[in-house]
Amino acid sequence: MRKWIKFIVVSLGFFAFVGALILLHNQLKDLSYIDVINALKAIPALRIITALFLALLYYLILGGYDVIAFKYIDSKVSLKLKDILFTCFISNILGSNTGYSMLFGGSIRYRLYSVYNVSIADVTKVLLFSSTTVWLGLLTIGGFIFTFASVSLKGTIYFNFITTRTIGLFFIAILVLYVFLSTLHSRPIKVFKWTITFPSIKIVSSQILFATCDWLIASFILYILIPVEEMSYFVLLKAFLISQLLGIISQVPGGMGVFETAISKLLPNSASNPGVVGGLLAYRMIFYFFPLLIALIILCVFEIMTFTKKFNKTTKIFGKTVSSVIVQVIALSSFFVGMIVMFFTSTPFDVAQLKFVINLLPVWFADLSHFLLSITTIGLLFVSKALQLRIKNAWSITCVLISFAIVLILVVGEPPLVLLCFVVLLVVLLASKKYFYRNISILNTAFNAWWFSAIGGVFVLSVWIGFFVNKQDVSSWMHLDVFLKNVLNTTDAARFLRASLGIGIIIFIVILQQISKNLFKKPPISFTKYDIKNIVDSSDYTYSFNALASDKSYIVNDEKDAFIMYAKSKNSWIAFGDPVGKSGHKNELLWKFKEIADNASAKPTFVGIDHEFVQIYDDTGLNVFNIGQEAKIPLITFDKEDNRFKCFCYLEKKIENAGFEYRVMSPEQFERYREVFVRINKEWTENTNYIERNFIQGKYDESYMSGMDFGILEKDSKIYAFSIIAKTKSKCELSSGIIRYIKCDYDVFTYVVFKNILWAKENGYKWFNLGFAYFPLMDSGGEFIKHFAKMFMFAEHFDYNLVLLREFKNKFCPEWYNKYVAVPPDKYIITFVKNFTALISPLSTIERKHFFKRLLRR
């Protein structure tokens, strides 16, 4: 269902974009391409420079939103102003140009801020605060202008309002409510399930001031780029705000097409004024594409500096490295340069350059070069998706396409700046070869609705540009003879027609390939519990035994020597630990898991993962952050005679002198003691007020216990305690699973753990795994991580006191290894916690809220 909703939303955005272009075409039917270009060239250089300066100033002021936000949340991390401005500049530009600010701008914010040890919870608050600030500016300016200087919306897309006064009053009402609630900022307001604390009046005033200045600057940039001899700034401001609002509602990246259509309808005499269209074109380049180019260059320089200084440990960004950001930037850059060149191929040749080429080469060669350049650009749009997926063949193909495009650009005569972009991108690609490591076919790339809408939007816009430039009558092309005549001509219109036809055919072929790929895809790998057991037996880590529990699902690789164990909870697919098995295919298995989850419109997440695969989780687009550490005792150096373990030896002697005996029981004896274990587990649960949890460690589950060894404590043939002993066949690791005991006068829990360690050493095991523990110094998520740790870690024996749990494990002098959680970026972290809580809780939906609160209180 979610998949179809997403498809419908994306489709509506695409059709809104197409509708806007149709309206814009009708508006500009009396203008010529030459008039627009001349008007563009007529913009004074001083105005261009001023607009460029103001565009950069606009994005820098956006950084002020985060400065205020950090004061509002009272962050404990001290950040320099330049660090905040750098992060905001990059993230806001990427968000503005893609139209998906939470997808690109938000995730970049998360990654860059973590360099300065800002917690993930604080970054989420800053992101939400800054988004609110943007809207406050629109509510303030739009509210007063729409109300007291209303504008008619008749004929502007589809609205039932006669004027903007209704919108203005609504904006003012929201603004007044926000300001009023801020006066009560000491009293949290509960909205549905959320508790919100509003900022003080001082902070709200700063929000409104900064946001208002930004909106005024953005509109003033357009004002100085269009002819304003007969138009006041106030008139343009009204049209600008309405157009931006429509662009935001449409969800089209950057409001492209929608913004221009609204401006052309709302500004007086704009439809017949080439200066307005030229100004809009200049505004699009200066306000969007120019800052994007600057941001991409800065990110590339940042990566080079990072690599040169070799401080990889300090460049970890919630588990991500800056190199991961660079791969996304390369993919995005490939898409954008392909898009820009596609637009240029819809315009006439550079006559001077063409004459130079004709003197050296035949005319047909220039026409062929134009056609091949168009085909190359659509190839770049499609292959950019494969670059995101780190496919090695995609890197090779992109290098070939860009090299080929550079040669064709020299022949066709595209602008030098476009040529420079291709050269820089090729150099960056050649230097980034090591980041593309997946040895799979590029034909395996799956394009979702968003990618097809983005590529389709670029194609539609390029066709629109071609129609506008060449003034072709679409209806006349419906006749085959006229169509063939236009195709075979050597005019600019014919070149545009051939290019569009070739691009359309390529898109159609890709669509057919995607459909056939879905229709004739390989059936899922069939496997049995026996296969899972064999893979578990080949593992060197005891966490793999959790896969034998009945509450796990599996994704197995083609070779059947590795799997991922997971469970579904609403729209989350939550995997426990890293892929299991001795296989060199684990990396590709992680990608497979993500692809299957994406196809199901689910969010893949991982809990309790090791440092070994952190980079791969990062590459698949997940944010990785530390949840604590795992304690592992190196048994080769463990000696019970060591003075550090005196207390354990004393406890051992005391308990055994009291007549208790420890022994290890084989799996074959489980049936004999099943009822005893059930009784002990029930009594222990009642005495400890244990909160039963599914999926994670700590649950009494006979579905896999029957095949395990047990360490038991008995006296006079009566069993007082038992523990599951999970041990790998390779003798690499052993751990105690659940430990259950009945009340007695001794510290049975500590004794059983100690005896399990001694037994593991005597039997030649390399490591004893004591499990997870919370480590505040490694905490990058504040209270959120601490609360999550209470749910995830096995701390029942210490009344869920994470400090006591760590102190206990430290007594065994273990080595500590960091453990992580990998989740999709941005605000999804909140959804993940809710879904994880629902997964581990055996209670009904109504009771889960009380379960979560009870657990956090404890």
| 3 state SS for 692-758 | CCCCCCCCCCHHHHCCCEEEEEEECCEEEEEEEEEECCCCCEEEEEEEEECCCCCCHHHHHHHHHHH
- Contact call for residues 72 and 127 (beta carbons, < 8 A): no
470 pLDDT above the threshold of 80 = no
- Contact call for residues 119 and 625 (beta carbons, < 8 A): no
Other C-beta atoms closer than 10 Å to the C-beta of 800 total 18
Predicted local distance difference test score (pLDDT) of residue 426: 92
Residue predicted with more confidence, 148 or 848: 148
Name the pLDDT band for 102 (thresholds 50, 70, 90). very low
C-alpha to C-alpha distance for 330 and 385, rounded to whole angstroms = 10
| Sole residue written with tokens 């943007």 | 134
Task: Indicate the residue type of 74.
Answer: D
Q: In what order do the strands lie in the sheet with 572-576?
A: 553-556, 563-569, 572-576, 603-609, 815-823, 623-634, 767-773, 733-741, 718-727, 709-715, 661-665
Count of all residues that appear for the chain in the document: 858
Residue predicted with more confidence, 118 or 553: 553
Predicted local distance difference test score (pLDDT) of residue 503: 92
Q: Report the range of poorest mean pLDDT among 315-319, 372-376, 427-431, 776-780.
A: 315-319
Name the pLDDT band for 651 (thresholds 50, 70, 90). very high
Read off the pLDDT of residues 792-806 as tens digits, 9 standing for 90 and up. 665 555 555 677 888
Read off the pLDDT of residues 43-90 as tens digits, 9 standing for 90 and up. 888 988 999 999 888 888 888 888 888 888 877 677 788 888 888 887
Burial class (CB in 10 A: 0-12, 13-18, 19+), 576: buried
- Contact call for residues 379 and 503 (beta carbons, < 8 A): no
| Sole residue written with tokens 């979702």 | 448
Q: Report the range of poorest mean pLDDT among 217-231, 247-261, 518-532, 836-850.
A: 836-850
C-alpha to C-alpha distance for 295 and 336, rounded to whole angstroms = 13
C-alpha to C-alpha distance for 694 and 848, rounded to whole angstroms = 13
